[in-house]
Amino acid sequence: MIDQYEVVVVGGGIVGATVACGLARAGISVGLLNKDDPPRIWSQVGCDLRVSALTQGSVNIMQALGAWPEIVRRGVSPYRDMRVYDGAGHGCLHFDSAETHFQELGFIVENRVIVAGLWDLFESFECGESICADPVVAIAPHDLGRQLTLRSGRCIKAELVIAADGQHSVMRSQMGIGVQGWPYHQQGLVTTVSTAKSHQRTAWQRFLEQGPLAFLPLHNGQSSIVWTLGTASAKAYTECSEGDFLAALMKASDGLLGEITAVGTRAAFPLNFQHANSYTAEAFALVGDAAHTMHPLAGQGANAGLLDAAAMIELLAQAKERRRPLGGQQVLRRYERWRKGDNLVMMTAMDLLKRMYGVHEQPFVQLRSLGMNVINNSRLLKKMFNQYAMGLRSGLPTLASNAASHGKRSEGW
Ligand SMILES: Cc1cc2nc3c(=O)[nH]c(=O)nc-3n(C[C@H](O)[C@H](O)[C@H](O)COP(=O)(O)OP(=O)(O)OC[C@H]3O[C@@H](n4cnc5c(N)ncnc54)[C@H](O)[C@@H]3O)c2cc1C
């Protein structure tokens, strides 16, 4: 077991495990540290409470790294349609993959499936090593770059430390990097339901007074629920009886998929807007939720983190090839310039949408519905929305914009 790597990635969630795979694939020696053992095997009954709507851009990254076949083997759910309703008005948006050059708009995948697929891949690389169930407790400067201390007392050195340890990042705090942001005083209640009607491979979303309610199609025919509620309602609906919850969900969904016949475990996650003041420091970088946390109303958080991962992989692979220092300012500044602005645009767009659907005065609701219907009837505007939401806009890292991607029917739009 070695205690020195070119790069150490702290946090083996979706984003950290992706960076680690990409670097190991580029021949960079990398240590992947995670505070727990990531899930690898589970009972086939039921789905993970946490799922992600992966964009085509994210799927391109998984494919380019070689993780996608294993993720598909474990189970993914392509969605071909997306229907968004304004619960307070008459606005409606319908996105159809037939209007794009792709067979699907994206894929709903259980988070544990993505993580397990990436860890399986990572462990197949010779220059990658994983250390689990031993959280990092301290980070300090070192002649080589940085030195990490694990809870067991073990010390690990690297030219560059990449922190992917989530929104409450200990690494970010220890490096003294502050954050800007605010709580939404809302929680995302998640659960899995069975419904009388088929989900028809469609992602459904209804904007309600407290926040959006989404039904996301799962590969086993069930739907994953992400229901944004005020903090008190989220607590009440997480703790109430199954019967009361089903009645409330039925009412909120307006019987969208018919009767809800079964519901799984419920959990709620506080939602906030949080952006790190800086993405980098000497021999140190932040990726994923450690750098930015956004409202999940359009399912973009993990997708934005995967773009950070792809940018980091591209820049470090180039630096390695050109024999430049991996933890050097040149690489880190380019990473920060590339990703910080792009993330801020996405975070701001999510924040504006959240605020726009939080207004319930009728004149505004009418205007909002009108706006949705105008977009719905404009091929050009829908194409623009689709390109952005599917993670296919310009200026993306090469791994994300891989033209030879799965399911693409032809070049261009
Ligand atoms: C309700 C809800 C729904 C969402 N839906 C979507 C969606 O549909 N699409 C989408 O793109 N995004 C979605 N998101 C956002 C998405 O879940 C996150 O952006 C994403 O999971 C962040 O991944 P990450 O790898 O950066 O961080 P995390 O998933 O938080 O992973 C952090 C990892 O670091 C490890 N770790 C932490 N501290 C240490 C330490 N000291 N030492 C070692 N390891 C450590 C943890 O064990 C963990 O494995 C949603 C979020 C919410 C709340």
Element (H, E) at 361: none
Q: Quote the pLDDT of residue 35.
A: 95
Phi, psi (rounded to 5 degrees) for 339: -100, -30
Element (H, E) at 115: helix 111-122
Tens of pLDDT, residue by residue over 206-260, are 999 999 999 999 999 999 999 999 999 999 999 999 999 999 999 999 999 999 9
Q: Quote the pLDDT of residue 1.
A: 52
To test the pocket of ligand 1, the residue of 40, 110, 150, 165 to mutate (highest count of ligand atoms within 8 Å of its CB) is: 165
Q: How confident is the model at residue 71 (pLDDT cuts 50, 70, 90)?
A: very high
Distance 291 CA to ligand 1 centre (A): 11
Mean pLDDT of 358-385: 88
For residue 38, the 8-state DSSP code is: P
Nearest CA to ligand 1 atom 29: 13
- For ligand 1, whether the C-beta of 33 sits within 6 Å is yes
| Sole residue written with tokens 């993780």 | 67
Q: Quote the pLDDT of residue 407.
A: 43
Nearest CA to ligand 1 atom 53: 269
Distance 396 CA to ligand 1 centre (A): 21
Mean pLDDT of 163-192: 97
Q: Quote the pLDDT of residue 13.
A: 98
- Amino acid identity of 362? Q
Element (H, E) at 51: strand 51-55
292 Cβ partners below 8 Å, 6+ apart?
274, 275, 276, 301, 304, 305, 343, 347
- For ligand 1, whether the C-beta of 13 sits within 6 Å is yes
- Amino acid identity of 392? L
Percent of the chain with pLDDT over 90: 81
Rounded-to-10 torsion of CA 314, 400, 348, 50 = -110
Tens of pLDDT, residue by residue over 8-60, are 999 999 999 999 999 999 999 999 999 999 888 887 777 888 999 999 999 99
Nearest Cα neighbor of 203 from 213, 216, 192, 190 is: 216
Handedness of CA 103, 105, 111, 117 (dihedral sign): positive
To test the pocket of ligand 1, the residue of 8, 15, 279 to mutate (highest count of ligand atoms within 8 Å of its CB) is: 15
CA distances from 48 to 41, 52, 267, 413 (A): 12, 10, 11, 34
Distance CA 126, CA 80 (A): 38
3-class state of residue 248 by DSSP: helix
Assigned token pair, 350? 């999510």
339 Cβ partners below 8 Å, 6+ apart?
279, 291, 307, 308, 311
Distance 375 CA to ligand 1 centre (A): 32
pTM of the model: 0.95
Q: How confident is the model at residue 412 (pLDDT cuts 50, 70, 90)?
A: very low
Residue 223: Cβ within 10 Å count:
28
- For ligand 1, whether the C-beta of 106 sits within 6 Å is no
Q: How confident is the model at residue 2 (pLDDT cuts 50, 70, 90)?
A: low
**Strand runs (DSSP E) across 251-365, as ranges?**
260-263, 267-276, 280-281, 284-286, 292-293
Over 90: is that where the pLDDT of 408 sits? no
Distance 14 CA to ligand 1 centre (A): 7
Phi, psi (rounded to 5 degrees) for 150: -95, 165
Percent of the chain with pLDDT over 70: 97
Over 50: is that where the pLDDT of 405 sits? no
Q: Quote the pLDDT of residue 410.
A: 30
Over 50: is that where the pLDDT of 164 sits? yes
Distance 273 CA to ligand 1 centre (A): 14
Assigned token pair, 5? 């790597």
Domains (range + CATH), the chain: 4-79+107-180+272-358 (3.50.50.60)
Nearest Cα neighbor of 86 from 303, 376, 384, 350 is: 376
Is 362 buried (19+), middle (13-18) or exposed (0-12) by CB count in 10 A? exposed
Distance CA 58, CA 106 (A): 9
- Ligand 1 nearest-atom number relative to CA 137: 41
Over 50: is that where the pLDDT of 360 sits? yes
Looking at 208-261, list the stretches that DSSP marks H as alpha helix, in order from N- to C-terminal side. 231-239, 242-253
Indicate the average pLDDT of the chain.
93
Nearest CA to ligand 1 atom 30: 166
Mean pLDDT of 266-277: 97
